[in-house]
Amino acid sequence: MVHIAQNINELRTHIPPHVKIVAVSKTKSVTEIREAIGAGQHVFGENKVQELIGKYEQIPEAEWHFVGHLQTNKIKHIVPFIRMIHSADSFRLIEEINNRAGMCNRVIDCLLQIHIAREETKFGMSEDETLELLDTPGLHDMKNIRICGLMGVATFTDNKEAVRGEFRGLANFFRRIKREFFPTEASFCELSMGMSDDYDIAVEEGSTMVRIGSLIFGERVYGTGA
Ligand SMILES: *Cc1c(COP(=O)(O)O)cnc(C)c1O
């Protein structure tokens, strides 16, 4: 038996109030999400478009974030309601988010996903690709997206110092990007880093948003149709 409300309250005692908790509810049921809402959690993250839409339709009052790899052709399905996309990682994707958001008269908050892990499988841009993206003509004229910061996923490892080094590198890069590209934009202020196994290190290194799944909802079980 997983005590979701208890887990959330316990987590809050370890996370400073200025750090936003995104409860990553992928594979978890609407009933479990409602239990989290009962404990005062209002922000949820999903990584699959179909799953997200199904949950949004049942719980439209929650604040929904997208944290997974996003395909250009699926953007239109989430743009009417999504609050933040943590995983923007190409000009083409950002352009499509901007175009679709314009059709809905919305402005969508986006984070640029940076590749910081040693694993090759993790998504995201290198620092050079990010600088190139930010220099692309037209990017800063897009009216229906707002680039609010950076996101990164650290290497899955027990080596805490390696993880700390990756988060510290991302925090340094965040400050550089802020200084060079968004010096006067107060909205460029979010650093989304830290998951169940490494959120404490991420917070120490300057995270403003932690994305927590299993520590709130329990381990995920895949392949049961859940
Ligand atoms: C699943 C997921 C999380 C949450 O993972 P936990 O280890 O269960 O906290 C965070 N971020 C992303 C991008 C994810 O896909």
The region of weakest confidence among 35-44, 47-56, 114-123 is 114-123
182 CA → ligand 1 middle, Å: 28
The pLDDT value recorded for residue 221 is: 84
pTM of this prediction exceeds 0.85: yes
Q: How many CA atoms lie within 13 A of 197 on its CB side?
A: 10
**Closest ligand 1 atom number to CA of residue 47:** 15
Residue 67, ligand 1, Cβ within 6 A: yes
pLDDT of residue 226: 44
* pLDDT at residue 223 greater than cutoff 80: no
Ligand 1 centroid to residue 103 C-alpha, Å = 31
Q: Is the pLDDT of residue 115 over 50?
A: yes
| Measured distance CA(132)–CA(130) in Å, rounded | 5
The per-residue pLDDT for range 127-169, each reduced to its tens digit, is 999 999 999 999 999 999 999 999 999 999 999 999 999 999 9
| Arithmetic mean of pLDDT over the chain | 96
pLDDT (0 to 100) of residue 98? 98
Q: State whether the beta carbon of 196 lies less than 6 angstroms from ligand 1.
A: yes
Who's near 98: CB < 8 A, 6+ residues apart? 108, 142, 143, 144, 145
Cβ pair 84, 62 in contact under 8 A: no
With 0-12 / 13-18 / 19 or more C-beta atoms within 10 angstroms meaning exposed / middle / buried, residue 178 is middle
